[in-house]
Each structure stands twice: as structure tokens, then as C-alpha cells.
């Protein structure tokens, strides 16, 4: 089986979900998402056995464009993350009712299809098509099924759409220029182009604008918090758990190997911007009164650290970045789902209207505590592995980078413990918090199991991603 099967399955699943009708939509969507995850596991087994799962076919003859999908450790781990989290996010939504649910769930699967395509594509034109396609479903998910004032939601979503679309156009211009230089859009041919220092600067800058907006990196982050708050929680989880990883992944796969001289030249500036996001996100999170906004700024801080590690240009930095991408994906989905569980019962996102939940449901409080401790990188959790590796890579560049970036652990502990205190502790709330359901418990148990297992035994992931990352580092160090 080649990897195109996963894309076909997700696309067919989106269509099947739409035609299944509102009553069956969520069940059909979950079945197809689980099937895609099972297919990803099968591809992983083939990869471990040395079986080639790539797919390459001619698409357009003039110019030469291919439907080219490549499976290596890096793309495979992102495929697994996307299909696993899509299944988990869909299952977590079963406690909600959505108007025109067939449209909603079909858009979720279509978004997963586009994100998987982005992670697998090695033809720049195909990659760009998938990159743009992923923007369309989240736009409608946030706009139609979001919460809060309709006008404010519309402004936030349109700002997000314009920001990301504008950034993508810079990336398209860069690919057109590279095509004129090589006559090809295949990633291997783009790697091989001998660009001057000035050419690399402009290519690097064009790609940076696209990726910095998507991640986001300061000062391109202004769309994030409002969209995370206004989107339905499923949309927020898709954005924070998977979609922002498209930008981080693309830094490793496209930006650094194509323009390594520029990456080395501006390494300190890029790390500085990323670390600024760590500090800024943590400080602003301390002042938030809305739980989804607090988690949005927390996510900004964590992805800033990931970006800093990626731009350290070392094998430790790249490996730490990928490990933390996966860990952050599961943690942030868990935290936003906890906010959703509370909102289902209290009908509010305001922290001041919460409190005393632990007295009414000790099981929920305990599970949220574990996810929260993973978020602040408690040893034995998956996030600790990623953050320790990232800080070590920054230490090897400059000790001050590691010291300042390390504030994410200290400040993160402050605002997360403060949030837990106000949300879960104190006297019993006047509102009744119904005990979490079996479905909600399953979501938390799966997330906690992943965070603890790979926190204690990360070797399967490091073994999977290291060969691909070593090839990227080798390309960077050729210049």
C-alpha cells in the first residue's frame, strides 16, 4: 500500500460524511478518521520493514508537475499525529450538537486531508495547493460554528484568512523563482539549486513570512488569540494541535535546506524573535480572564520555543522541535478539551465564573492536573523530553538563549497553576458540574497515556525521525 491511500480515504470520507446526513455524519466521520489512522500505522510498519510507500505520478506535463508524496521519518510522524488527533478531536465532539452537522464534520475530514497532503508533498506546487486547501475548511468552521458575537467573530476569522493568504503568496513567488532557476518543482531539485547569498536571503524571507504567520512567531501572531477564542473548540484544537505544525514542519522540510546560508546568517535574530514569543506569550497568559485566550497565549509561548530550537540548526534542535510538536499537539488538545468540558456544563469561558469543580468531580480534576503538569514539562512527561532537548540545543548556541527561553517553564507553571486554582479549587460552585461522561474520560485517558508513555520511552519516535533530520542537517552544513 502506498501513502496516497490515506489521502483518498480522507477525501472519500469527507464526501461520505456529507452525503450521510446530519444524524450519521459524526459516526461516519469518526469511522473514516480511524481508518486513516489505521492506514498510517500500516504505512509505519511498511517503513520499518524497508518497504517504499512513496507515490509519484505525472500530473501536468508543461510545466512539469507531479503528484509526489514521500514517506520518511519526518513526514510519517506528522502523518501519524494528524490522523491520530483528527480521530481524537472528532470523538471529543460527540458531546456537542452542531447545526448542519454533515457540513461541519465533512469540513473537518477535508481539513485533515489537506494537512496530510501538506506533510507528504515533495512537489512544491502540490505542496502549495494542499497548504492553501487547509485554510478553506477552518475558515468556514470558525465563521459558521464559532461562538461569541457574530460581527467580532467575522472580523477575527477574516483577519486570520487575509494574514495567512498573504503570507502564502510570498511563498508562491519564491517557488516560481526557484522553478525558473531549476525547471523543476521537486524538492530534491530545489535543494540542489546553487543560489547566491542575496538570492537565499529573499527566498528565505518569502518563506519565513508564510511560516511565521502560520506558526505564529512574533510579530505575526496578532490573529491567533481571537481566532482560538471565537472558533468552536473542535476548530481551535485543529488549529493549535495540527495546523500550526504545518508551519514548523515546513521550516524543517523546505526553508532551512533551500536557503541554509540565510538561515545561518540570521540564526540569532530568528532565535531571538522566537524566544520573544516565549516570554511575551507567557506574560500575557498571566493576565487572561478567558480560559481559551489563556490557553492560546500558552500555545504561543510553547511554539515559540519549538521555532527557536528549529532555527538553532543543530540535530538536537531539530529533533527537540519535532518531539515537542507531537507532545504539544496532544497537550493542547487536552487543555482545550478540558475548557470545552467546563463550557458544556457552566456555559462560560470566563475563569471568574468557574471554581470548586474538584469538589463536584474529583476524577476530572485529577486528569486535568496531569495534562496541565505535562504542559509545564514535568519530568516523566512527553513535554519534558522535548523541552529539555530544545533548551539544550539553545544552550549550545548561547547560554542566554537557554536561560531566557527557560522562562517558559517557570512562567508556564505560574499561569497554569493559577488557572487550575481558580477553575478547579475553592468552595463548591453554585452551578452543578455533572460528572464527566465515559466518552470524555476516554479522550483524557488516551491523551494522558501518550504523554506518559513517550515521556518515559521516547525512543520509538527518536529512532523514527533522526535519519530524516540528519539528512536535513547535512544539507544545511554543506554551505
pLDDT digits (tens, 9 = 90+) for 134-167: 999 999 999 999 887 788 888 889 999 998 999 9
Split at pLDDT 50, 70, 90, the class of 338 is very high
Q: In this predicted structure, what is the pLDDT of residue 470?
A: 95
Q: Indicate the angle between helix axes 267-286 and 291-310, nearest 10 degrees.
A: 160
Q: Are residues 241 and 270 in the same domain?
A: no
Based on the fold, state whether residues 200 and 298 are members of the same structural domain. no
Residue 383 sits in the same domain as residue 362: yes
- pLDDT at residue number 413: 87
Give the pLDDT mean for 451-460.
96
Q: Same domain, yes or no, for 139 and 250? A: yes
**Pair 3, 61 in one domain:** yes
Residue ending a domain, choose from 257, 277, 299 = 257
412 or 245, which is more confident: 245
**Residues 228-239: tens digit of each pLDDT:** 988 999 999 999
Do 205 and 137 have their domain in common? yes
For residue 260, the surrounding DSSP H or E stretch is helix 260-265
What pLDDT does residue 306 have?
A: 95
Boundary residue ending a domain (200, 226, 257) = 257
Q: Domain total for the chain?
A: 2
Q: Are residues 215 and 145 in the same domain?
A: yes
Name the helix (H) or strand (E) containing 66. strand 65-69
Overall average pLDDT of the 25-32 stretch? 96
Average pLDDT over residues 372-387: 93
What percent of the chain shows pLDDT beyond 70?
100
pLDDT mean over 384-409: 90
Instruction: Give 463: exposed, middle or buried? Use CB within 10 Å, 0-12, 13-18, 19+.
Output: exposed
Query: In this structure, are 149 and 270 located in the same domain?
Result: no
Cell of 192: 540542489
Q: By three-state DSSP, how is residue 406 classified? A: coil
Say whether both 419 and 298 belong to one domain. yes
pLDDT at 97: 87
Residues 173 and 297 in one domain: no
- Domain end among 228, 257, 286: 257
User: Contact, 115 vs 243, CB < 8 A?
Assistant: yes
The reply to whether 241 and 321 lie within a common domain is: no
Percent of the chain with pLDDT over 90: 76
**What is the band of 224 on the pLDDT scale with cuts at 50, 70, 90?**
confident
Question: What pLDDT sits at residue 479?
Answer: 61
* 350 and 289 Cβ atoms separated by less than 8 Å: yes
Residues 350 and 207 in one domain: no
Domain that holds residue 325: 266-479
Q: Is the pLDDT of residue 444 over 90?
A: yes
Amino acid at each position: 500500500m502506498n501513502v496516497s491511500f490515506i489521502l483518498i480515504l480522507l477525501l472519500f470520507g469527507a464526501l461520505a460524511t456529507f452525503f450521510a446526513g446530519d444524524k450519521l455524519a459524526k459516526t461516519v466521520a469518526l469511522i473514516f478518521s480511524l481508518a486513516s489512522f489505521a492506514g498510517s500505522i500500516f504505512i509505519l510498519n511498511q517503513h520499518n520493514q524497508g518497504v517504499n510507500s512513496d507515490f509519484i505520478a505525472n500530473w501536468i506535463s508543461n510545466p512539469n508537475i507531479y503528484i509526489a508524496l514521500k514517506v520518511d521519518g519526518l513526514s510519517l510522524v506528522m502523518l501519524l499525529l494528524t490522523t491520530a488527533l483528527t480521530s481524537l478531536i472528532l470523538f471529543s465532539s460527540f458531546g456537542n450538537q452542531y447545526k448542519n452537522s454533515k457540513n461541519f464534520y465533512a469540513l473537518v475530514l477535508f481539513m485533515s486531508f489537506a494537512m496530510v497532503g501538506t506533510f507528504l508533498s515533495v512537489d512544491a506546487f502540490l505542496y502549495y495547493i494542499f497548504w492553501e486547501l487547509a485554510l478553506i475548511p477552518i475558515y468556514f468552521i470558525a465563521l459558521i460554528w464559532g461562538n461569541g458575537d457574530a460581527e467580532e467573530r467575522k472580523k477575527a476569522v477574516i483577519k486570520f484568512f487575509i494574514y495567512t493568504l498573504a503570507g502564502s503568496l510570498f511563498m508562491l513567488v519564491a517557488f516560481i523563482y526557484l522553478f525558473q532557476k531549476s525547471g523543476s518543482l521537486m524538492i530534491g531539485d530545489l535543494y540542489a539549486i546553487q543560489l547566491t547569498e542575496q538570492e537565499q536571503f529573499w527566498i528565505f524571507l518569502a518563506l519565513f513570512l508564510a511560516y511565521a504567520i502560520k506558526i505564529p512567531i512574533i510579530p505575526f501572531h496578532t490573529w491567533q488569540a481571537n481566532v482560538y477564542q471565537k472558533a468552536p473548540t473542535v476548530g481551535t484544537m485543529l488549529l493549535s494541535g495540527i495546523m500550526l505544525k504545518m508551519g514548523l514542519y515546513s521550516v524543517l522540510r523546505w526553508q532551512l535546506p533551500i536557503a541554509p546560508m540565510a538561515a545561518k546568517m540570521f540564526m540569532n535574530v530568528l532565535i531571538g524573535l522566537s524566544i520573544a514569543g516565549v516570554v511575551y506569550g507567557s506574560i500575557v497568559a498571566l493576565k487572561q480572564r478567558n480560559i481559551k485566550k489563556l490557553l492560546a497565549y500558552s500555545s504561543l509561548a510553547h511554539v515559540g520555543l519549538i521555532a527557536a530550537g528549529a532555527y538553532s540548526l543543530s540535530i538536537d534542535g531539530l529533533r527537540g522541535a519535532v518531539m515537542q510538536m507531537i507532545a504539544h499537539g496532544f497537550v493542547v488538545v487536552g487543555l482545550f478539551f478540558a475548557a470545552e468540558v467546563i463550557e458544556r456544563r457552566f456555559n462560560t469561558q470566563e475563569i471568574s465564573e468557574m471554581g470548586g469543580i474538584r469538589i463536584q468531580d474529583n476524577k476530572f480534576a485529577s486528569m486535568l492536573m496531569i495534562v496541565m503538569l505535562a504542559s509545564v514539562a514535568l519530568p516523566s512527561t512527553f513535554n519534558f523530553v522535548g523541552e529539555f532537548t530544545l533548551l539544550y540545543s539553545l544552550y549550545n548556541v548561547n547560554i542566554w538563549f537557554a536561560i531566557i527561553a527557560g522562562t517558559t517553564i517557570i512562567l508556564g507553571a505560574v499561569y497554569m497553576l493559577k488557572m487550575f486554582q481558580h477553575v478547579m479549587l475553592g468552595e463548591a460552585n453554585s452551578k452543578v458540574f455533572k460528572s464527566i461522561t465515559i466518552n470524555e474520560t476516554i479522550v483524557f485517558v488516551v491523551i494522558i497515556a501518550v504523554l506518559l508513555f513517550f515521556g518515559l520511552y521516547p525512543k520509538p519516535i527518536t529512532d523514527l525521525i533522526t535519519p530524516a533530520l540528519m539528512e536535513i542537517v547535512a544539507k544545511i552544513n554543506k554551505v
